[in-house]
Structure 1
Amino acid sequence: MMRFSLMLCSLLLCACTHRSTLLPTGDLGVVIERASGSVQIVNTTHHNAINQVEGLGDLSHASIVYSRDQRYAYVFGRDGGLSKVDLLQQKLDHRILQGGNSIGGAISQDGSMVAVSNYDPGGVKIFSADTLDLIADIPAEYAPGKFSKTVGLVDAPGNRFVFSLYDGNAIWLVDMSDPSSPNIQRFSNIGRAPYDGLISPQGRYYIAGLFGEDGLALLDLWHPEQGVQRILPDYGKGSEKMPVYKMPHLEGWAISGNKAFFPAVGRNEVLVMDMNNWQLLQHIPVHGQPVFVMTQPDHRRVWVNFAFPDNDTVQIIDTETSEVIKTLVPGKGVLHMEFTPRGEQVWISVRDENRIDIYDTKTLQRLHTLPANAPSGIFFTNRAHQIGL
């Protein structure tokens, strides 16, 4: 009997020890600490930092995608680094230097491939999500001997990737159904200097913003044979030339019903577009030049942050009235916002004050703060199951 009791106690102790090492990935996230080349793994339910993972290189323009099981975060560093972080083991699993200057990445629909967008060398490289072995190298050669920076890389249904060529004025659609033989469709002369791109939440429309001229470029991925359509010819920098301190991020478009809220380039405005006919509906005056224009998961409100020198402020727009209903001033260097999966809270990085603020999206009151070393991007694991994120 004594022996049995000892064995039972030992088994219970082992079980408790094992359980304590397990983490529910659904309420985890990663915060980029750009100054130190590290990331924080955070828990969105308990509002705490779990651990810090170091040695990730230059994270000055870093972004993250997740494996479909939410265990691994793939971190794209500005120095060309591709890092695979294990959220369960809370450590760096693998890291490679795949280029000289990277700007973002995406993960395929089936989760088997990770693509990286490069300024230097110009092009996109695609790797095994498991081993980070190179699967495909796609140089963005738009003319003999001329290579373009690639921007606006997103995943699309059917194990496809879409990206824009900043110097080549083009959109490329890459079908990786057969990883050994990528099928590339090239769409040229889409407009001058596409600087970023987004894909609609359903994965049908890819839209590239143009920095070199007014307008946007639209590709219908259900019917790519129709080519690229120019929309909103009056959108862009506009007639009043203003310094552009930071390019807006089109990934942060806010889509609510049939309306899209998006940042204007070089204007202190958020623009509203009718997605049924791609016509401009409204100009909403805001505090400064918007960077991210992001909708709550319930689409009730849109949150906007701004470029320098107005980057201490966040404004909230009601999607029914298109009016600014609240202005918050979290502090200097507000770089990014991320909603918890069901939208009851928003986490805001305040880079210059080395902290993350957590707000209640119903009361618009600050609930909590977390220390962080020059935080920038915030990425929660629910992104693993969203197209284009």
Structure 2
Amino acid sequence: MISLSACQLQNHQLRPTGDLGVIIERATGSVQVVNTTQQEPLAKVDKLGDLSHASVVFSRDQRYAYVFARDGGLTKVDLLQDKIDHRIIQSGNSIGGAISQNGKWIAVSNYTPGGIKIFSSDTLELAADITATPLNTSTEKKAIYSKVVGLVDAPGNRFVFSLFDTNEIWVADYINQDNNKKWEIQKFTNIGKQPYDALITPSGRYYIAGLFGESGFALLDLWHLEKGVQRILPNYNNNKQTLPVYKMPHLEGWAVAGRYAFVPAVGQHSILVIDTDSWQQVATIPVHGQPVFAVARPDGRQVWVNFAYPNNDTIQVINTENYHIIHQFKPGPAVLHMSFTPKGEQLWLSVRDNNEVQVYDPATFKKSTTFPANSPSGIFFTSRAHQIGL
């Protein structure tokens, strides 16, 4: 049995991980480590690279945050010691990542060169380099590959992702038979034009890619891959004027409340309501601007929506029973991201151009606290460690 001396205990502050999170400070390439119980920042970790489109996943024990930077950086941050554990530059331009169901693998989706790379979560040692479909012929000097988007983890230690330029969805499955360890790829082609982002439903069964080049979505049932890709809502944008798109909706921000999904419509001032049993649209909710994120309160009672420029100073709250907008307010210029604490008693949001993070009580809509942050964007809590597809 190992014991710590009194001196060691005094010099090491015990910190629980379940109520921690990180806030991306995009302008300074840093993250703030925060505590949601106390609603306060604890520390800052910097030198993380270009965080202009950063995302984060967490280790199973919630100790480590893996930060995916736009410049191809992958950084493992120790949330107990407030420092970088390990950092690599794994590509020229990356767009996000995922952690496998068992917590052993970190996958990163890349624009340049197109494809995904898979690393050991312990050491960040490269385990697989999966190249996307090439766009040019082999006779040219330098091959160009499709950009990869919409990377998520799926049950069975699989990764699923979309190829923007070649209209595909791939499933990467880890195979370990007779000491033959490899990543087996199953490819689905002609899924629709330009899948720009994707999500996996909370159960891990359905993977859904949004299409930028045409109206509709591509759906893949991961329980029955033999069915191939199904097109859903192919006509939701018919006979409607599509506005210039200032910021693409983030499909991982789909709000799933009960059997219904609340989906930001591309180029419209509306939220689509989809029945996830039939995958048919049942309603359209007019909103203040072009929605970016639609985030469901964990109990499914509310959906909070933020918007693209020039309406990005506003938040609207939708009642999921009657689809009415029950609250609207203006936290400040450039509200970029929103996150609920695990049981939904707090809503945190980042106000980039005010350089601050605000925390609200979703029951009363009253602001409980504000604290400074440098150009904050993404807000990620360690509870994501135990959710599929985040």
TM-score between the two structures when normalised by the length of structure 2: 0.95
Q: CA deviation at 1:15?
A: 6.3
Task: Please name the residue that 1:300 is paired with.
Answer: 301
Alignment-derived partner of residue 13 in structure 2: 21
Q: Select which of 108, 114, 118 maps to 2:100.
A: 108
1:183–1:285 CA distance, 2 compared to 1 (3 A):
same
Query: CA–CA distance in 1 between the matches of 2:253 and 2:268?
Result: 17
Percent sequence identity over matched residues? 64
Which residue in the other structure is 2:320 paired with? 319
The answer (yes or no) to whether the contact 2:113–2:144 under 8 Å persists in 1 is no
Written as runs of structure 1 = structure 2, the 5 A alignment for 1:63-78 is: 63-78=55-70
Q: Residue 5 of structure 1 corresponds to which residue in structure 2?
A: none
Q: Is the 8 A contact 1:84 1:94 kept in 2?
A: yes
Displacement of 1:21 in angstroms is 1.5
- 2-structure distance, mates of 1:76, 1:157: 22
User: Unpaired segments of 5 or more residues in structure 1?
Assistant: 1-10
Q: Which residue of 2 aligns with 1:309?
A: 310
Moved more, 235-244 or 130-139: 235-244
Comparing 174-183 with 299-308, greater Cα deviation is found at 174-183
Q: CA deviation at 1:48?
A: 1.0
1:161-207, Cα deviation, whole Å (9 max, x unpaired): 00000001000000024393111000000000000000000000000
Partner of 1:382, secondary structure, is helix
172-181 or 343-352: bigger deviation: 172-181
SS of residue matched to 1:243: coil
Deviation of residue 13 (structure 1)? 4.0
Q: What's the counterpart of residue 367 of structure 1?
A: 368
Give the distance between the partners of 1:237 and 1:337, measured in 2 at CA. 30
- Look up the equivalent residue of 1:63 and give its one-letter code: S
- Give the corresponding residue for 2:167: 169
Amino acid aligned to 2:166: G
Equivalent in the alignment of 1:133:
125
Cα deviation code 1:70-119 (max 9, x no counterpart)? 00000000000000000001101110000011100000000000000000
Deviations 1:261-286 (A, max 9, x none): 01000000001011111111111000
| Amino acid in structure 1 at the alignment position of 2:154 | A
* Alpha-carbon distance in structure 2 between the residues aligned to 1:118 and 1:237: 32
Unmatched tracts of structure 2, length 5 or more: 138-142
Provide, for residues 349-386 of structure 1, a one-character-per-residue CA deviation record: whole Å limited to 9, x for no partner.
00000000000011011110010000000000000000
2:82 paired with 1:90: yes
Identify the residue that residue 384 of structure 2 maps to in structure 1. 383
CA distance in 2, matches of 1:326, 1:188: 42
CA distance in 2, matches of 1:264, 1:110: 34
Q: Structure 1 residue 204 and structure 2 residue 197: aligned?
A: no
The 5-angstrom pairing of residues 1-389 of structure 1 reads 13-14=6-7, 16-17=9-10, 21-142=13-134, 144=137, 145-178=143-176, 180-236=181-237, 239-389=240-390
Contact 1:213 1:237 in 2 (8 A): no
Distance, in Å, in 2 between the alignment partners of 1:80 and 1:237 is 38
* 1:141-160 C-alpha deviation (Å, 9 max, x unpaired): 25655510000000000010
**Match in the other structure for 2:140:** none
Q: Contact 2:304 / 2:318 at 8 angstroms: preserved in 1?
A: yes
CA separation in 1, counterparts of 2:297 and 2:276?
A: 18
RMSD of the alignment, in Å? 1.4
CA distance in 2, matches of 1:134, 1:12: 39
Amino acid at match of 1:42: V
The question of whether the paired residues in 1 share the 8 Å contact of 2:43 and 2:82 is answered with yes
Q: Which protein is richer in helix relative to its size?
A: 1
Question: Aligned partners of 2:119 and 2:5: how far apart in 1?
Answer: 42
Aligned residues: 378
Q: Letter of the 1:44 partner, please give it.
A: T
* Aligned equivalents of 2:63, 2:130: Cα separation in 1: 28
Q: Which runs of 4+ in 1 moved over 2 A?
A: 11-16, 142-146, 177-180, 235-239
Within 2, Cα distance between the matches of 1:159 and 1:271? Answer: 31
TM-score with structure 1 setting the length: 0.95
Determine if contact 2:346/2:359 at 8 Å carries over to the other structure. Answer: yes
- Kept in 1, the 8 Å contact 2:254–2:263? The answer is yes
Q: Distance in 2 between matches of 1:142 and 1:213?
A: 22
Helix, strand or coil: the match of 1:57?
Answer: coil
